[in-house]
Amino acid sequence: MFYHGIIAKAFRPFAGDDFPYREQAESLIKASSTQLRRLLHVQRHRFDGPPFNATTIGSVHVLTLSLLEGLARSEEVDGETSFDLVVAAEAMKRYGEAFPAIHKSLHRLLEGASRHHAELPHELKLILEELSARFFGRDMTDGEEEFLPIDLQIGMTDHSGGGIEKLVNVTHRFKLGAGESSGKQ
């Protein structure tokens, strides 16, 4: 996956209209993308998803971007391409559980495709809605908005519930007059 991701990314700038060997670059990208699709299916079938390491996420990102660009360019998308796109996006979503920055990248890809009037498959719309809710939604109860006018959930990186959440709780105690003398932190 790493090799084919590098090939697709390296020849991508040469697939433009004004490059003399555009057709060769496009055929190399297409061949590597085909192999990436195949390898992603193998990973999903044999191992229930992609391996969680940083060397292959770039390849999955390149494949997802390539498939979304194809979706935006074409009027009709065949079922295989649509399925591959969902598999690649789900792989990126799973990678995002280990590498949170990937969720933001996937959100940008899907939002960009949606903004350019690409007809996303239903599964991708659900992923986009979930990521949008994660990044821009509020889980605050009534009255908390006056204490927290900014949604701090975007900055959370500690999956154990510490970090920002603990800081917010301490801030609430100080603001409510409990202070540090309560003994709780």
Q: What is the pLDDT of residues 97-136, one digit of tens each?
A: 877 788 888 988 888 888 877 788 889 899 988 988 887 7
**Residues 75, 110: one domain?**
yes
**18-22, 24-28, 49-53, range with the lowest pLDDT:** 49-53
Which two structure tokens, joined as six digits, stand for 152?
């701090």
pLDDT band at residue 152 using 50, 70 and 90 as cut-offs: very low
Q: Return the pLDDT at 180.
A: 46
- Identify whether residues 132 and 148 lie together within a single domain: no
Q: 59 with 109, same domain?
A: yes
Q: How many domains does the chain have?
A: 2
Cα within 13 Å of Cα(11), Cβ side? 21
Return all residues near 12 (Cβ < 8 A) that are at least 6 apart: 25, 29, 62
Query: What is the arithmetic mean of pLDDT over 160-174?
Result: 60
- Token reading at 80: 């295989």
Same-domain status, 64 and 126: yes
> Quick one: 177 and 110 in the same domain?
no
Domain that holds residue 157: 144-182
Contact assessment for residue 57 and residue 40, using Cβ atoms and an 8 Å cutoff = no
Based on the fold, state whether residues 131 and 51 are members of the same structural domain: yes
Instruction: State yes or no: pLDDT of 145 exceeds 50.
Output: no
pLDDT band at 35 (very low <50, low <70, confident <90, very high): very high
Give CA–CA dist 84/33, Å, rounded: 11
Residues 41 and 79 in one domain: yes
**For residue 41, which of 83, 70, 8 has the smallest C-alpha distance?**
83
